[in-house]
Amino acid sequence: MTPQMEQIIQLVLRTAADLYRIDEYAEVSIVLADDEFIRQLNRDYRGKDTATDVLSFALDEGEEPEILDGPQEKLLGDIVISLETAVRQAEDYGHSSEREVAYLTIHGFLHLLGYDHELEQDREQMRSQEEKILAALQLSR
């Protein structure tokens, strides 16, 4: 990972949190992995024995009880990005690895907020939100 990637990930998350008015105490974990690690996660949690570019594991899906007088942070979840896949996709799309990691961070973050892309209508809505954040970061295509 380059220092630029770390900076862009932080900037993406701050920008997205501002746009979606996410509480300042919210927390997101980012894991930068290789294809083998993300393949294992994809197999174990989604039943798909193949590498992928990004996985999200939301922690705030309304199933956990509220802890009274507990810590103020809100744990949104984990985003796992395969750097190997990000580098390949950046080359395929003709842009920098940093820009691809920014996009994958946005994509994963939106999943943590409940966005999905299984249905065409949902895919269009999610893509619109991705473009909104990319535009705010001046990273549009």
DSSP line for 1-39: --HHHHHHHHHHHHHHHHHTT--TTEEEEEEEE-HHHHH
Taking Cα atoms as reference points, which of 82, 121, 122 lies closest to residue 105?
82
- Dihedral angle of Cα 5, 24, 59, 71, to the nearest 10 degrees: 130
pLDDT confidence of 21, banded at 50, 70, 90?
very high
In the block, which residue shows the tokens 């980012």? 30
What is the pTM (predicted TM-score) of this model?
Answer: 0.87
CATH topology of domain 3-62+72-136: Collagenase (Catalytic Domain) (3.40.390)
* More confident call, 16 vs 3: 16
Task: Give the pLDDT confidence of 10-19 residue by residue, as tens digits.
Answer: 999 999 999 9
